[in-house]
């Protein structure tokens, strides 16, 4: 009974904490609909629904992420980077490789991260908050300019030239195998960072 009461009290809080992130996924889904990209829209749409169900307590949540051998992860990422550098862009091989990476990364992201080695102090919390605000500001400016460029560039070829989205700037660069290899390595390195970080607070 106590558990049920506790769950009922914490559920609205879980919703409040998840709501901004669910909104972000829904907004990206909307952009993909405007782009007329059904696969991309379906991925972000499915993510939105899954996170909403999770925030409502309808999905299992309690398993902790298994220990990941960093050497094995780096070896696997290196193999995928070689495949992505050599495989033609927009081809089947690249599609299979990127899809496989996504499935593994999402499975790992679903688990609970391990507990932090030390409790959070107020100084550390303040430093993390300041860093998060700084990074969020950079990301927000980038997203707004990208969105503006995307919307303006949708109109005519001239407008697209005047308002280049990041995709338009990087697209010709990535046709070169060397730059594609650089992109693949940077993308996979960031992915390794994302699936291996995350620590639950000791005092949570």
Partner 1 sequence: MRDVTIGIYLLCLVAALVLAVGAHRPSWRIAKVTEMLDAVLAERAPRIVIVVFWWWLGWHFLVGQTVDPPVLG
- Report the site for partner 1 in 183-202 (rule: CB under 8 A): 183-184, 187, 190-191, 193-195, 197-201
Is residue 191 within 8 Å of 109, Cβ to Cβ?
Answer: no
Q: Which is nearer to partner 1, 75 or 166 (CB)?
A: 166
Q: Give yes or no for residue 182 binding partner 1 (CB under 8 A).
A: no
Q: Give yes or no for residue 176 binding partner 1 (CB under 8 A).
A: no
Contact positions with partner 1 (CB under 8 A) in 53-72: 54-55, 61
Rounded to the nearest whole angstrom, what is the least distance from the CB of residue 8 to partner 1 in the complex? 19
> What kind and span of H or E run contains 203?
none
Q: Which is nearer to partner 1, 11 or 130 (CB)?
A: 130
Residue in the structure block whose two tokens are 């999402």? 106
Q: What is the dihedral of CA 10, 63, 131, 140, to 10 degrees?
A: -80
Q: Give yes or no for residue 30 binding partner 1 (CB under 8 A).
A: no
Q: Give yes or no for residue 169 binding partner 1 (CB under 8 A).
A: yes
Is residue 203 within 8 Å of 120, Cβ to Cβ?
Answer: yes
Rounded to the nearest whole angstrom, what is the least distance from the CB of residue 135 to partner 1 in the complex? 6
> What 3 state SS string does 83-140 have?
HHHHCCCCCHHHHHHHHHHHHHHHHHHHCECCECCCCCCHHHHHHHHHHHHHHHHHHH
Residue in the structure block whose two tokens are 């620590």? 199
Q: Which is nearer to partner 1, 8 or 202 (CB)?
A: 202
Give the separation between CA 18 and CA 12, rounded to whole angstroms.
Answer: 10
What angle is formed at CA 131 by the lines to CA 129 and CA 137, rounded to 5 degrees?
100
Contact positions with partner 1 (CB under 8 A) in 90-149: 90-91, 94-95, 98-99, 101-102, 105-106, 109-110, 112-113, 116, 120, 124, 126-128, 130-132, 134-135, 137-138, 141-142, 145, 149
Rounded to the nearest whole angstrom, what is the least distance from the CB of residue 1 to partner 1 in the complex? 26
């Amino acid at each position: 009974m106590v558990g049920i009461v506790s769950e009922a009290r914490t559920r609205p809080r879980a919703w409040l904490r998840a709501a901004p992130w669910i909104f972000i996924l829904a907004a990206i889904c909307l952009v993909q609909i405007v782009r007329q990209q059904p696969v991309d829209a379906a991925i972000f749409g499915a993510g939105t629904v899954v996170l909403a169900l999770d925030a409502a307590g309808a999905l299992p949540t309690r398993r902790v992420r298994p220990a990941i051998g960093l050497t094995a992860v780096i070896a696997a990422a290196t193999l995928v980077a070689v495949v992505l550098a050599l495989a033609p862009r927009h081809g089947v091989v690249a599609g299979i490789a990127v899809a496989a990476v996504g499935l593994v990364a999402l499975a790992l992201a679903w688990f609970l991260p391990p507990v932090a080695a030390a409790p959070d102090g107020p100084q550390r919390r303040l430093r993390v908050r300041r860093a998060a605000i700084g990074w969020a500001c950079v990301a927000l400016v980038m997203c707004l300019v990208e969105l503006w460029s995307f919307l303006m560039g949708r109109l005519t070829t001239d407008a697209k030239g005047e308002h280049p989205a990041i995709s338009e700037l990087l697209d010709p660069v990535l046709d070169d195998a060397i730059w594609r290899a650089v992109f693949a390595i940077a993308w996979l390195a960031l992915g390794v960072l994302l699936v291996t970080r995350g620590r639950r607070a000791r005092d949570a």
